[in-house]
Every structure is written in C-alpha cells, then in structure tokens.
C-alpha cells in the first residue's frame, strides 16, 4: 500500500474530508495520512479507539511516536490523557488500549534504528514547547498568536498537524486535526488564523526520503 508516498511533493490531508478505515482490531479505525507498506508499514495515521478497544501486544521494530488528541490512551506503563506526547523507540513493545475511548496521531517505523530514547511529555505550555531533538529531527509544539505570520525552516522537510486553531499556507486553510507535509528544500510561510494556532511540528526528518 502506498498513500502520499512521493516525498518530493507537498501533501495536505484535511480531517473532515478523509474517511475512517477499519483496522484489524475490533473498534479501532484509522485515517491514513501517509503510508508505505501493508499492515506493518512506515505510516502516519490518525487512529480512533472505541471505548474498550485494544491492540494485541506487539513490538515496534521501527519505533513509534504518538500524540493523544482525545480521550485517554493506555498501555502497561500508564494512562496518557489528551496532550500527551510519547516516543517508544525501536525494540520496545506494549499492549495499547483505551478503556473510555481515545484518538491519537501516530507515526510508525520512522526512527533511527539505533534510537533507544523513551519520551513521555505533555504539550502544555506557551510559545515553543520542545518535545524531542536529535541530529536527525526536531519535534515540538508551537503556539502562534492570532494572525501571526511565521516563516519555517523546511530545509529537511517539515510536517505540521493542527492541534487547535488553524493556519493558512499557500492559500489553503488548515483547521483542527488537519495535516500538511512540505518536502525538503521548500520555503514554508504560514499565517495563523483569527484564533491563533497550536501546531505539532516535526522537521528535518524527510531529507532521506528523496
């Protein structure tokens, strides 16, 4: 399966315009943002867990990072409420579930194979909230004021996911839970909406994809 797999192209996915697709686990549905592979894949996905649903125990050979968008996500290490950012590095394993339901943004098989760093962070805060950084990539949440014009460094590619509020880029409007991927080497200039914006952003990580 290949979805938005050409990393030389700008890609935008709007939450309200994308269908839910059933997963192999009962009560778990997905909106696929990009994907290379079948059930085990390099993937960026919005995943919705119905109350009481779960995935079987599994190992993340290529690592997993996720942001909890709604509800409370759970595994053996604890409960992760809205605003939790988690990195489970390669070779880690868990049994994820959502007793009362949850929605997450998740990225799979996108880590450095030698990465063994576990991260548990909240995205709460003002301005720029650092979540993770290494020589390969930077992950952060940015809080932009109403109508603020922001110039972003997309030298190594960049992904923007709207947690709250919205922004405009290249004449296209992005609202809650919309996603934008800009390929390496492009300029990226965005303007926050009238209510400002809270954006989950990953940059620098796409250089090896083209």
- 143 lies in the same domain as 179: yes
Residue 51 pLDDT: 97
Q: How many domains does the chain fold into?
A: 2
Residue 59 pLDDT: 87
Residue 200 included in any domain: yes
Which whole-number Å values give the CA distances from 196 to 91, 190, 202, in the listed order? 38, 12, 19
- Taking only the tens place, the pLDDT of each residue in 71-100 is 999 998 899 999 999 999 999 989 999 999
Residue 210 pLDDT: 64
Give the structural domain span for 89: 19-121
Confidence grade of residue 41 (pLDDT, cut at 50, 70, 90): confident
Residue 12 included in any domain: no
- 159 lies in the same domain as 67: no
Residue 14 included in any domain: no
- 35 lies in the same domain as 117: yes
CA atoms of 62 and 41, how far apart (whole Å): 9
Q: Which of 121, 137, 159 represents a domain boundary (last residue)?
A: 121
CA atoms of 205 and 34, how far apart (whole Å): 14
CA atoms of 164 and 82, how far apart (whole Å): 12
Length of the chain equals 210
Residue 92 sits at φ, ψ, to 5 deg, of -75, 155
Q: Which of 76, 93, 121 represents a domain boundary (last residue)?
A: 121
Residue 39 pLDDT: 74
Residue 207 sits at φ, ψ, to 5 deg, of -55, -35
- 139 lies in the same domain as 104: no
- 81 lies in the same domain as 163: no
Q: What is the pTM of this model?
A: 0.96
Residue 20 pLDDT: 97
- Taking only the tens place, the pLDDT of each residue in 117-142 is 999 999 999 999 999 999 999 999 99
CATH code for position 66? 2.60.120.10
- 117 lies in the same domain as 147: no
- 116 lies in the same domain as 132: no
For 28, the token pair is: 């778990």
Count of Cβ atoms closer than 10 Å to residue 93 Cβ: 12
- Taking only the tens place, the pLDDT of each residue in 48-65 is 999 999 888 888 888 999
Which whole-number Å values give the CA distances from 115 to 2, 62, 111, 123, 150, in the listed order? 26, 9, 7, 22, 31
Q: Which of 121, 149, 173 represents a domain boundary (last residue)?
A: 121
């Amino acid at each position: 399966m290949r979805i938005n797999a050409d990393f030389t192209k700008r890609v935008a996915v709007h939450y309200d315009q994308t269908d839910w697709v059933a997963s192999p686990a009962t009560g778990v549905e997905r909106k696929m943002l990009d994907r290379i592979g079948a059930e085990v894949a390099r993937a960026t996905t919005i995943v919705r867990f119905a109350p009481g649903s779960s995935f079987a125990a599994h190992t993340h050979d290529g690592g997993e990072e996720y942001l909890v968008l709604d509800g409370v996500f759970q595994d053996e290490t604890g409960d992760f409420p809205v605003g939790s950012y988690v990195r489970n590095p390669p070779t880690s394993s868990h049994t994820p579930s959502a007793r009362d339901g949850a929605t997450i943004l998740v990225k799979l098989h996108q880590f450095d194979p030698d990465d063994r760093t576990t991260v548990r962070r909240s995205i709460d805060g003002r301005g720029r909230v650092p979540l993770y950084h290494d020589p390969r990539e930077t992950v952060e949440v940015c809080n932009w004021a109403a109508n603020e014009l922001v110039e972003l460094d997309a030298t190594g590619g960049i992904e923007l996911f709207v947690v709250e509020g919205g922004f405009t880029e290249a004449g296209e409007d992005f609202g809650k839970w919309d996603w934008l991927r800009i390929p390496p080497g492009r300029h990226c200039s965005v303007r926050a909406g009238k209510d400002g914006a809270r954006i989950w952003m990953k940059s620098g990580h796409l250089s090896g994809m083209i």
